[in-house]
């Protein structure tokens, strides 16, 4: 059985012990109801990115495997598990997962969402056995398939979409700055040739904006968001607005290389190793 690990301490994120227990209880029930082995389960979204609000949802994501026989079928089978979004005790839970084979197919395409799951600082379940450590090995595998082009495309289009939808006008939803800042910084990370961008906003800031007035404005805004349940609207913040406007215009013309050729049989071997209960 996978080990249920305590969340990694993070000064930007105070986790509710009751919420953590609820997430783990839901994961155990999912494993029983669907007869699967939960190999890796993490927190996604603003809590893992490092800019939660006090009332942020718990967005748990997981990778699971069926018994080996499940994969021997002439028919494609449903490869996701989705559960209803529910609020319990004033806390909202969103818990969904992907089958291991689906996850590996996405890894072969250097899917940035999957790669973020593998490096979340908040871990609910992590499989480890004589085989090794599931998430560490899969993240290492992701590095061999990493495509700067795919990463740039994903993060740039996320940033541009959120910028256009939320950061125009005289009054904006201030929390939306983070949904543009993080992908823009991820693009800059990729542009520098530093490989897979970290999930954490703090890590991105420390490397790319180690000092300066804009960093100070970002950290002050994050502090306000983290202590305010209903983080409302306000006037644009000039330093951040100018930076994002200039970077989105510039990044639109940046071309990134394709992934280097990796051996696809490594994915098959990984599936055979972890796609069973033994």
Category of 132 on φ-ψ map: left (φ > 0), alpha (ψ -120 to 50) or beta: left
Residue 26: the pLDDT is 97
Q: Are the C-beta atoms of 41 and 30 separated by less than 8 Å?
A: no
Residue 14: count other Cβ atoms within 10 Å of its Cβ.
Answer: 11
Judged by DSSP in three states, 52 sits in coil
Residue 256: the pLDDT is 82
Residue 5: the pLDDT is 36
Picking from 226, 221, 219, the residue whose alpha carbon sits closest to that of residue 204 is 219
Per the DSSP assignment, residues forming a β-bridge with 93 are 58, 86
Q: What dihedral angle (degrees, nearest 10) is formed by the CA atoms of 131, 134, 138, 140?
A: -70
Residue spans of the chain under pLDDT 70: 1-14, 130, 230, 277-278
Q: What element of type H or E holds 53? A: none
Residue 81: the pLDDT is 98
Q: Kindly give the interhelix angle for 213-227 and 238-251, rounded to the nearest 10 degrees.
A: 110
Residue 36: the pLDDT is 96
Handedness of CA 36, 75, 61, 153 (dihedral sign): positive
Judged by DSSP in three states, 252 sits in coil
Residue 73: the pLDDT is 86
Write the pLDDT tens digit of every residue in 237-265: 999 999 999 999 999 998 887 777 789 99
Q: Which CATH number fits domain 17-145: 3.30.70, 3.30.1380, 3.30.460, 2.60.40?
A: 3.30.460
Angle (CA) 20-26-32 rounded to 5° is 140
Residue 278: the pLDDT is 52
Write the pLDDT tens digit of every residue in 155-194: 999 999 999 999 988 888 888 999 999 999 999 999 999 9
Alpha carbons 111 and 192: distance in angstroms, whole number: 19
Judged by DSSP in three states, 68 sits in helix
Alpha carbons 9 and 121: distance in angstroms, whole number: 8
């Amino acid at each position: 059985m996978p080990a249920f690990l305590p969340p990694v301490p993070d000064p930007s994120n105070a986790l509710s012990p009751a919420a953590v227990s609820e997430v783990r209880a839901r994961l155990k029930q999912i494993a029983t109801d669907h007869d699967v082995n939960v190999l890796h389960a993490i927190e996604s979204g603003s809590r893992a990115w490092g800019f939660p609000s006090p009332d942020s949802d718990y967005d748990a994501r997981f990778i699971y495997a069926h018994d080996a026989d499940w994969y021997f079928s002439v028919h494609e089978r449903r490869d996701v598990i989705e559960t209803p979004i529910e609020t319990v005790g004033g806390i909202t839970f969103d818990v969904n997962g992907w089958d291991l084979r689906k996850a590996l197919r996405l890894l072969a395409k250097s899917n940035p969402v999957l790669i973020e799951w593998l490096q979340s600082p908040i871990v609910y379940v992590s499989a480890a056995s004589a085989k090794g450590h599931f998430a560490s090995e899969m993240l290492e595998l992701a590095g061999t398939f990493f495509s700067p082009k795919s990463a740039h495309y994903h993060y740039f289009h996320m940033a541009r979409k959120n910028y256009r939808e939320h950061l125009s006008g005289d009054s904006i939803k201030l929390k939306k700055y983070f949904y543009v800042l993080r992908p823009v910084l991820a693009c800059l990370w990729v542009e520098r040739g530093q490989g897979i961008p970290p999930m954490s906003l703090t890590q991105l800031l420390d490397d790319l904006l180690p000092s300066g007035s804009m960093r100070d404005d970002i950290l002050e805004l994050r502090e306000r968001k983290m202590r305010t349940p209903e983080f409302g609207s306000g006037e644009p913040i000039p330093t951040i607005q100018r930076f994002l406007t200039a970077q989105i215009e510039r990044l639109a013309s940046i071309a990134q290389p394709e992934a280097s050729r990796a051996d696809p049989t490594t994915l098959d071997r990984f599936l055979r190793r972890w796609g069973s209960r033994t």
